[in-house]
Structure 1
Amino acid sequence: MFKTILVPTDASDSARHALSTALEVARELGSRIVLLHVVFTPEALGYTLGSGIAVPQDEINIYGKEALAATLAGIDTKNIEVEVKHLPGHPAAMILKELESGSYDLVVMGSRGYGPISGSLLGSVSQKVLSKANCPVMIVK
């Protein structure tokens, strides 16, 4: 039923709990997991850092790898296929884009993360994904 599960992460406690929940589902159903971290960049909101200056891909790779490693630290993923991905951009937009491009059957994500803007002026990432996803979404508290 849920062969491939997307688990977006910002390395928060909520995201780690979502991963643990997704792993439980995956163990029961024989699913695979794609763990995704979106490195928030100023360009995601239409800003540039100056004439031709952008966040270097090397930094995006470093931040992405660190967030993915922090999410996985101390969590048992034995016998579960876990693919890790990191992308630059706006988290909600990139998660939805990933859902459109992949063959995901379920999204499992935390109800509250760190987010790029405290207080979430733009609305929560989980709420945006929940309202626009093309597959079931499980929000974990």
Structure 2
Amino acid sequence: MKILLAVDGSDYTTRMLSYLARHKEWANAGHAFTVFHVVLPVPHRAAAFAGPEIVHGYYEDDARIVLEPVRALLAGSSIEARFEHRIGHPAEEIAAFAQKGQFDLVIMGSRGHGALTNLVLGSVATKVLAACTVPVLLVR
């Protein structure tokens, strides 16, 4: 099964990865994992002021800061994965990447806001659920 692990470097991501590490059946079932992180875009005016080298460096640094601990945790759990990152809005990018890559499952952490909070504030997880045709497993 092709599984997309959507990560953002938060405690919720750590919980999701810990869940995978504790349940060895995920690692031993021959799944193909891809870890995916979305870096929020720098506003256009700020990017124009900072210049392309600084903006590109920011994107690469953000991805490295989020993905390196994930790489270490998965390696410690004997889970092999590919690592990808994109620049954009997280929910849209996760849903599009999952569908385009023909993944069988998306796994991501979730804060566990109540329905009213999600209605008012929204959340990446809620937006992914709404936009994605691939099944999504939320780990709280």
TM category, shorter: 0.7 to 0.9
The residue type equivalent to 2:124 in the other structure is: V
* 1:94 corresponding residue in structure 2: 93
61-70 or 12-21, which moves further after superposition? 12-21
The residue type equivalent to 1:96 in the other structure is: A
After superposition, the C-alpha distances for 1:38-70 in whole angstroms (9 at most, x for unaligned) are 11114xxxx422583466222211110110113
* 2:45 corresponding residue in structure 1: 49
How big is the shift at 1:16? 1.6
Q: Aligned partners of 1:51 and 1:17: how far apart in 2? A: 33
Which of the two has greater helix per residue? 2
Taking structure 1 as reference, are residues 63 and 31 closer, same or farther at Cα in structure 2, changes over 3 Å only? same
- Which stretches in structure 1 are left out of the alignment for 5+ residues? 114-118
Give matches, 1:1-141, under 5 Å: 3-22=1-20, 24=23, 26-42=26-42, 47-50=43-46, 52-53=48-49, 56-75=55-74, 76-78=76-78, 80-112=79-111, 123-141=122-140
How big is the shift at 1:11? 0.9
Q: TM-score, normalised by structure 1?
A: 0.77
Q: Aligned partners of 2:119 and 2:99: how far apart in 1? A: 24
The residue type equivalent to 2:66 in the other structure is: A
Q: Please identify the structure whose Cα radius of gyration is greater.
A: 2
- Which stretches in structure 2 are left out of the alignment for 5+ residues? 113-117
Q: How many residues align?
A: 129
After superposition, the C-alpha distances for 1:65-89 in whole angstroms (9 at most, x for unaligned) are 11011334445231x3211111111
* 1:116 corresponding residue in structure 2: none
60-69 or 24-33, which moves further after superposition? 24-33
How big is the shift at 1:134? 1.3
Q: Aligned partners of 1:121 and 1:41: how far apart in 2? A: 23
Matched position secondary structure for 1:5: strand
Q: TM-score, normalised by structure 2?
A: 0.77
Contact 2:34–2:84 (8 Å) recurs in 1: yes
Q: Aligned partners of 2:8 and 2:119: how far apart in 1? A: 14
**RMSD across aligned positions (CA):** 2.7
